[in-house]
């Protein structure tokens, strides 16, 4: 039986569960492998001078204050299509970072014990985009290890919604999309559940840094290594305790100004409220090498202290 146009239009609200809304077409079916379904955004190379300038600006805002995030409620994650995936299992960083954990007197126990939670936040749900339109999941993914007892976050695998949509202005993005906002809300929620205070944050690890366009070249210059074409610069890094830079050095400022540094800066600056993190600053940054399955990797530790 053929459906008339008027009948078909009348069925649309039932089919989609919305009334009077324009739905944005999903680019690919849910669950399609990301390597096949997304045009990945490319990062712009970062100069040494620009990295230092960015880092210095962040350091100033640690003490003078900066714009505060409007996202303060964990429920905002659901509103903007973020879905919690709690695998709760033992993950590679805990073994890979064992020397660093021991050196900092941190627990290396597997979740759900002392080290807390291994959570991946997936931006695979629908979200409002304004003007009565709906955006569909971008496959953005922020996966971290959270230790609320000792104030540690290990950034494992992090790809923003903008990264996975290739920076295409025609593709809607959720308003709540930044690593600093999403990860803060998850951390604060876990602190609440575990009777911990978010202002006890002490350490951020950036594990297995693969950004060869911006972060790795700045690390290379900071530690003073030269990398020939195609070589793995991590082969020249020192294993833990690595190379440490305080924030009064150009190297420390430049590292903070990289994509792997400034996400942490925004995390601290945008949540300075008394019931949040309070006024925090970066104490030092350490660059070190780890080895996994015979390959060496770049890693960054960002240590935090009160202003």
Q: Is the pLDDT of residue 160 over 50?
A: yes
Give me 100's structure tokens.
Answer: 């660093």
Per-residue pLDDT tens digits for 189-227: 999 998 999 999 999 999 999 999 999 999 999 999 999
Least confident of 87-91, 146-150, 187-191: 87-91
More confident residue, 301 or 17: 301
Q: Give the pairing of strands 133-135 and 22-23.
A: parallel
Q: What is the mean pLDDT of residues 8-14?
A: 35
User: In terms of Cα–Cα distance, which of 128, 132, 95, 123 is closest to 110?
Assistant: 95
Where residue 164 falls among pLDDT bands split at 50, 70, 90? confident
Report the alpha-carbon distance of residue 111 to residue 113 in Å, rounded.
5
Q: What is the share, in percent, of the chain residues with pLDDT greater than 90?
A: 67
Where residue 101 falls among pLDDT bands split at 50, 70, 90? very high
Report the alpha-carbon distance of residue 200 to residue 300 in Å, rounded.
20
Other Cβ atoms closer than 10 A to 69 = 21
Least confident of 48-62, 63-77, 126-140: 126-140
Backbone φ, ψ for residue 69 (5° rounding):
-65, 145
Least confident of 9-18, 32-41, 53-62, 139-148: 9-18
Report the alpha-carbon distance of residue 139 to residue 121 in Å, rounded.
10
pLDDT given for residue 107 in this prediction: 84
Our CA angle for 7, 3, 5, nearest 5°, is 50
Reported in sequence order, the residue ranges of the chain that DSSP labels E, i.e. its strands, are 22-23, 82-86, 117-123, 127-130, 133-135, 140-147, 152-159, 203-209, 243-246, 280-292, 295-306
Give the best-scoring range by mean pLDDT among 7-21, 146-160, 270-284: 270-284
pTM of the complete model:
0.84
Least confident of 58-62, 100-104, 169-173: 169-173
Q: Is the pLDDT of residue 5 over 70?
A: no
């Amino acid at each position: 039986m053929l459906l008339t146009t008027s009948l078909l239009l009348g069925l649309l609200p039932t089919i989609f569960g919305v009334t009077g809304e324009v739905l944005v077409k999903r680019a690919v079916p849910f669950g399609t492998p990301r390597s096949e379904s997304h045009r990945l955004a490319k990062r712009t190379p970062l100069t040494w001078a620009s990295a230092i300038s960015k880092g210095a600006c962040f350091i100033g805002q640690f003490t003078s204050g900066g714009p505060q995030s409007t996202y303060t409620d964990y429920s905002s994650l659901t509103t903007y299509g973020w879905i919690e995936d709690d695998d709760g299992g033992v993950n590679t960083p805990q073994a890979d970072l064992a020397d660093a954990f021991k050196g900092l007197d941190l627990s290396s126990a597997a979740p759900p014990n002392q080290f807390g939670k291994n959570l991946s936040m997936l931006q695979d749900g629908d979200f409002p985009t304004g003007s009565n339109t709906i955006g569909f999941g971008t496959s953005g993914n922020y996966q971290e290890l959270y230790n609320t007892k000792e104030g540690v976050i290990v950034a494992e695998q992090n790809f923003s919604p903008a990264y996975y949509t290739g920076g295409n202005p025609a593709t809607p993005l959720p308003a709540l999309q930044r690593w600093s906002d999403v990860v803060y809300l998850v951390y604060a929620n876990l602190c609440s559940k575990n009777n911990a205070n978010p202002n006890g944050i002490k350490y951020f690890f950036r594990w297995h840094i693969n950004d060869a366009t911006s972060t790795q070249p700045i690390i290379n210059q900071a530690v003073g290594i030269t990398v020939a074409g195609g070589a793995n610069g991590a082969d020249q890094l020192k294993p833990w305790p690595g190379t440490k830079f305080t924030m009064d050095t150009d190297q420390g400022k430049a590292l903070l100004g990289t994509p792997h540094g400034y996400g942490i800066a925004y995390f601290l600056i945008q949540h300075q409220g008394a019931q949040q993190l309070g006024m925090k600053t970066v104490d030092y940054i350490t660059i070190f090498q780890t080895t996994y399955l015979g390959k060496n990797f770049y890693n960054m530790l960002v240590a935090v202290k009160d202003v």
